[in-house]
Amino acid sequence: MTQAPPGRYLTREALTPGDITRAHTLRTQCFQTGTVDRDAFDAAARHFLIEDRDSGTLVCCFRLTLFQGAELAQSYAAQFYDLSRLGRTQGAMLELGRFCIHPEWQDPDIQRLAWGQLAREVDGSGAALLFGCSSFTGTDPTRYRDAFALLKQQHLAPAEWRPRVRAAEVHLYARHRHSPDPRRARQQIPPLLRSYLAMGGWVSDHAVIDRQMGTLHVFTGLEIAGIPPNRARLLRALA
């Protein structure tokens, strides 16, 4: 585990084939798929890197793709979720994908810097919504019973935008009755999803069981206009 003081990191866009290869390598390490983690959606995306300034180690990467309305059908998430309701909305939307932090670098500044870069890109694109798939490790939904119950209780997407089921294998957690232990639920929710939710984000009413990636994931949306003003100012300061 490596701890680092603020200011130690460099955040930048990947501009060369070598940059993209490094992102693929980190993604492969984080997702442990057994093969190099790259897909057809990489070509249309912009890729971002966070590096340790001293060693040059890549400690975080993610990709962003801009969509308008019905173009959502071409997104990575649309493979797994029916987004036809959301596709009827107006305005630009940014898909955040393949967000990875090096497993040996557990410094909260890394995720804060990533969100700062996301704030910059949201402002630059004029996006009204940031969305993506938030992943839970493993494919056994019973491990996350409290987390899913809390998501159902407090964080479901607005009905008029809520994704419908498209994937072959899903966990319909919104149909289950369970009173969550809030502390245990928060521990079970991945850090990236916790950040989304802290800013007013919402999720689908079901989780997709993705056996290829070895994960469970929920569709996650964050309406930019709904981010609390104090949080928005902090993010823009990081940018």
d(CA 89, CA 74): 15
Q: Which two tokens stand for residue 224?
A: 């930019």
Residue 1 counted as domain residue: no
pLDDT value for 32: 78
pLDDT value for 239: 66
Q: Which residues contact 231 (CB under 8 A, 6 or more apart)?
A: 198, 199
Residue 86 counted as domain residue: yes
Instruction: Please give the single-letter amino acid code of residue 107.
Output: D
pLDDT value for 1: 44
pLDDT value for 218: 98
Q: Which residues contact 143 (CB under 8 A, 6 or more apart)?
A: 136, 188
- What does the H/E/C string look like for the chain? CCCCCCCCEEEEECCCHHHHHHHHHHHHHHHCCCCCCCCHHHCCCEEEEEEECCCCCEEEEEEEEEEEHHHHHHCCHHHCEECCCHHHCCCEEEEEEEEEECCCCCCHHHHHHHHHHHHHHHHHHCCCEEEEEEEEECCCHHHHHHHHHHHHHHCECCCCCCCEECCCCEECHHHCCCCCCHHHHHHHCCHHHHHHHHCCCEECCCEEEECCCCEEEEEEEEEHHHCCHHHHHHHHHHC
Residue 19: which domain range? Answer: 9-238
Residue 166 counted as domain residue: yes
Residue 214 counted as domain residue: yes
φ/ψ (deg, to 5) at 195: -65, -45
Place of tokens 């890549």: 58
Residue 3 counted as domain residue: no
Instruction: Please give the single-letter amino acid code of residue 126.
Output: G
Residue 21 counted as domain residue: yes
d(CA 52, CA 234): 22
Q: How many CB atoms are located within 10 Å of the residue 150 CB? A: 22
Q: Which two tokens stand for residue 114?
A: 């990533």
pLDDT value for 5: 52
Give the CATH number, domain containing residue 189.
Answer: 3.40.630.30
* Number of domain units in the chain: 1
Q: Which two tokens stand for residue 181?
A: 């232990």
> Which among 210, 220, 219, 218 has a CA at the least distance from the CA of 33?
210
**pLDDT means over runs of 10, the chain (239 residues):** 66 96 95 87 97 96 94 96 91 96 92 94 94 96 97 96 97 95 96 95 98 95 92 81
